[in-house]
Amino acid sequence: MFRFAGLWRPRRFHAPIAKIDLGLWYRYYRAIPATIGPRAPPMNQHAPSLALEIRGLAKRFNQPAVDGLDLSVRAGEFYTLLGPNGAGKTTTLRMVMGLLRPDRGSITVFGIDALTDAVEAKHLTAWLSDEPMIYDKLTPMEYLEFVAGLWSVESNTAAARARELIEWLGLETQAHDRCEGLSRGMRQKVALAGALLHEPRLIILDEPFTGLDAGSTRLVRSVLRERVRAGCSVIMTTHILEVAERMADRIGVMVAGRLLAEGSLDDLRRQAGAGHANLEDTFLALLETGAAERTVAA
Amino acid sequence: MNRAGTIVWFAHHEGRLAWRDWLSLMSGRRRSRCRVALGVIAIALVLHGFAYLVLHRYEDLSRPPDQRMLVVVTGMFALYGSLMLSQAMERVTRAFYGRGDLDLILSSPVAAWRLFAVRIGAIAVTTAVMSLALAASFINVLSWFGGLGWLAAYGVISAAAMVAVAVAVTFTAVLFRTIGPKLTRLCAQIVAAVIGASFAIGVQFGAILSYGTPSRVVLLQSEALTRYAPDSRSILWWPARAILGDLLALAVVFSISAATLAATICIFAPRLAQFALATGGVAQRSTRQGRRARPFRGTSPTRALRRKEWTLLQRDPWLTSQTLMQLLYLLPPAFLLWRGFYDGSASSALLVPILIIAAGQLAGSLAWLAISGEDAPDLIASAPVTNVCVVRAKTEAVMGVIAIIFGPFILALAVVAPISAFITVLGVASAAASATSIQFWFRTQAKRSHFRRRQNSSLVATFAEALSSFSWAGAGALAPANTWLAVIQGLLAFAIVAGAWFISPARSTARSSGGPQQDRTKRGDIFQAG
């Protein structure tokens, strides 16, 4: 239960204060007024300042997909990873989540080495891909029960949390229908509910808005913003530059497995060199610059 | 270049896809075409050797056909024909329900009936080719022993494939009309499995009742059946006469079959586009599981995984039917066991290998569903669960089903023959564990709906699974008689499993990474550092 309430942390994050009076913390937590969507867990004061640290990450398929990538995401930061198709964004995130093994490099999630201590790191993370990872023959509620089992969330807490998420995502009428009959957008919502059920501290999203209608997109944006405000970290890839422009604290632009540029929108504008009004112009200008540099280097 | 949208153009398109599909199936990712050819030759040699072992004891296969030979040939042809009909029904259903490129073609301005005409023809060709591939070794050996006349069997089997497809298309169309698209798939699949098994099982029942043995050949060669069979001039024997080299009978059988298929195509091809459209809406309908919310059950990751596997299996009637239809073949042994209670015969010893083989095959299918047929591999891989925990949960899920299904048989056997029951327990556990392990080592991520094609993902795994089951069954059969031979046979089974591990992708991955990890493709792999 306390893990669900955000008071439990894996061994390296056990805050002494949480051990002293868990009940007080839990009551305090319950007293936080709900804003939009489910509440985010209160953050540990002693948590490392970096949510994710990647050093020298490399992965090669037929050609290098990720090529010596260095990337840092701060705790409580909304970081958006942009890049053309085949830039290595998804490969990078899949390596962070332990879905792909890197050829070399290191990945640290809140100070935990995600390559040697993957299970511990996964307690803190959630993964949502563009393809909803759900089972056709289970209902949304059964799916959430299964996810709660995988993350060892206490059953009563998980049930309450699942009801809350289902309601919040507008899936009440489909809660007991098998997922095979749901539309793609609804399936994506179910997967999102699964990702948020265990109160992750680092949410990794790969094209999360694929298949969502305008209202749902706004809903998801709102909850992600709330999560970040409460101290969670979010890393997201998207091709919808407007979303990145509105939401991201920092933006990384990946090309050919490397980080071409990084920073806030203003930083990127400066790096792009000319007076570009929006992210789309800036992004395209950066890509052109990068392509020209690679041609010269070749 | 043929004009687009014509039947020839569609046939060229389908043929190209089928050829590439077959080539990728045979060649996998790494094997060269030369190795594929060598593999095909090796398999052909093994099949011919097997056919020789089966047929060499039958004398005088070249003599003029008498009543007894006609009965045996017709019986065997009917057995094979029922399997062909079963396969044809399965393929026809898949052609309607598998969307594939149907949406593209149905949304284009070409006449869809041409595509379906080609697809029905393609199913007939596929059924004939697959049936001939299995029967060719027997036909060749028969023609070697009994003269070239036996080669006419190639034509008869091709004719049977045409009739089987015509019947399958007609039956499926009738089902569409009567029970609708939602139930047709399930119903057709079950009927296909029952047809495939019923004739073989029926003959076995007859043999058990008459002669106390499950051997089908004994019944077909019996004097009683020969005596009561129709006169040798009856048209019932025409397919048998054609097989035995009567060219007139062959021409008649082939012509009637071809005409039947052509008529079926003409009648049903224009209607199939509507059926295909109707199947498209089936997936859109949702099934309600219960109106009231129930509390979540407290659970561990292992229990959650196990329960999920059982729920998915239970909720998919098509998969359940496909998996459990193998159990139809357990009915004759069960009947034999039941008879054993009354007459006190020693037939229970026959059951041991049958149960072991069935357990191995069923465990292989279930393990494929649980391991390779995982619909959300990324979810499992991104969860804080060790690889050991996942493997244990999935193995327990498989073994649980095996225990539920085979438990009653073993308990009943324990009453009749306790030692045989004990040997069966060991054999069933070994065969199931071997099949599950092989599935783990050769896992290839696939959709659960591709269950029927699971053998295609790795021929090595399929053969290893079957060979290990047969070897464990051999050990189980030998155990009551001679312990040392059984031990040797058991060691052979163990060696097969060890050999499968030695050449498995899991071993090479573990060696290259120093751990039980998988890392094959960009999207489809699972990496777990547990």
The DSSP secondary structure of B20-37, one letter per residue, reads HHHHHHHHTTT--HHHHH
- Closest CB from A99, A121, A135 relative to B375: A135
Q: Do A204 and A126 touch, CB atoms closer than 8 A?
A: yes
Query: Is B304 in CB contact (< 8 Å) with chain A?
Result: yes
pLDDT in tens, A237-256: 988 888 888 888 999 999 88
pLDDT tens for residues B327-361? 777 777 667 766 666 665 556 667 788 889 889 98
pLDDT at B365: 86
In the predicted structure, residue A57 carries a pLDDT above the cut 90: yes
pLDDT number for residue A288:
76
Whether residues A100 and B295 touch (CB distance < 8 A) is answered with no
pLDDT at res. A36: 41
Q: Is B520 exposed, middle or buried (0-12, 13-18, 19+ CB in 10 A)?
A: middle
Q: How confident is the model at residue A29 (pLDDT cuts 50, 70, 90)?
A: very low
Q: Taking a C-beta distance cutoff of 8 angstroms, is the pair A54, A88 a contact?
A: no
Domain spans of chain B, in order of start? 7-282, 301-513
Task: Tell me how long chain B is.
Answer: 530
Contact (Cβ atoms closer than 8 angstroms) between residue B438 and residue B497: yes
Contact A180 B386 (CB under 8 A): no
Answer CATH for A11-124+200-297 from 3.40.640.10, 1.10.1040.10, 3.40.50.300, 3.10.20.30: 3.40.50.300
Q: Which helix (H) or strand (E) holds B192?
A: helix B153-211
Interface check for B384 against chain A (CB to CB < 8 A): the answer is yes
CB of B107 within 8 Å of a chain A CB? The answer is no
Q: What is the pLDDT of residues A61-113, one digit of tens each?
A: 888 889 899 999 999 999 999 988 888 999 999 999 988 889 999 999 999 99
Which chain B residues are within 8 Å of A141, Cβ to Cβ? 293
Contact call for A101 and B527, based on CB within 8 A: yes
Q: Give the range among A159-173, A189-203, B210-224, B493-507 with minimum mean pLDDT.
A: B210-224
Mean pLDDT of chain A: 80
B525 touching chain A per CB within 8 A: yes
What Cα–Cα distance (Å) separates residue A109 from each residue in A18, A48, A49, A147, B99?
A: 21, 9, 11, 21, 42
Write out the H or E segment, with its range, that includes residue A109: strand A104-109
Query: Two tokens at B394?
Result: 């999935």
Amino acid (1-letter code) at residue B480: P
Nearest to A93 by CA among A103, A104, A81, A84: A81
| 3-state SS assignment for residue B155 | helix
Is B527–A100 a contact, with Cβ atoms under 8 angstroms apart? Answer: yes
**A-chain residues near B304 (CB < 8 A):** 145-146, 148-150
pLDDT, chain B, mean: 79
- Inspect the interface and report whether the beta carbons of B286 and A137 lie closer than 8 Å: no
Q: What is the pLDDT of residue B252?
A: 93
User: Which residues of chain B does A100 touch, with a Cβ-Cβ cutoff of 8 Å?
Assistant: 519, 522, 525, 527
Sorting pLDDT into bands at 50, 70 and 90, what band is B30? low
Distance from CA of B47 to the nearest CA of A (A): 39
What pLDDT band is residue B162 in, cutting at 50, 70 and 90? Answer: very high
User: What is the ipTM score, two decimals?
Assistant: 0.75
Asked if B301 contacts B385 with a C-beta cutoff of 8 angstroms, the reply is yes
Contact: A138, B287; criterion CB under 8 Å: no
- Which of B282, B296, B374, B388 should one mutate to test binding to chain A, selecting the residue with the greatest count of A CBs within 10 A? B296
Nearest residue to A57 (alpha-carbon basis) of A82, A23, A93, A7: A93
Residue in chain A lying closest to B288 (CA): A177
| Structural tokens at position A5 | 């309430």
Confidence of residue B269 (pLDDT cuts 50, 70, 90): confident
pLDDT of residue B342: 60
Instruction: Round to whole Å and give the CA distance between A40 and A80.
Output: 20
* Alpha-carbon distances of B219 from A281, B209, B281, rounded to whole Å: 82, 10, 48
Region of residue B65 (phi > 0: left; psi between -120 and 50: alpha; otherwise: beta): beta
- Assign A203 to helix, strand or coil: strand
Reduced to 3 states (helix: H, G, I; strand: E, B; else coil), residue A74 is strand
Minimal Cβ distance to A146: which of B295, B308, B378: B308
Nearest CA in chain B to A163: B293
Which residues of chain A are within 8 Å of residue B185 when distances are taken between CB atoms? none
Looking at the complex, does the CB of residue B290 fall below 8 Å from at least one CB of chain A? yes
Query: Touching check for B284 and chain A: CB below 8 Å?
Result: yes
User: Contact, A191 vs A134, CB < 8 A?
Assistant: yes
Per-residue pLDDT reduced to its tens digit, B87-137: 888 888 877 776 667 777 777 777 778 888 888 998 999 899 988 888 898
Residue B208: band (very low, low, confident or very high) from pLDDT cuts 50, 70, 90: confident
pLDDT over threshold 50, residue A26: no
Work out the minimum CA distance from A135 to partner chain B, whole angstroms: 6
Least confident of B368-382, B432-446, B450-464: B450-464
From residue A61, alpha-carbon distances to A107, B15, B445 in Å are 19, 32, 18
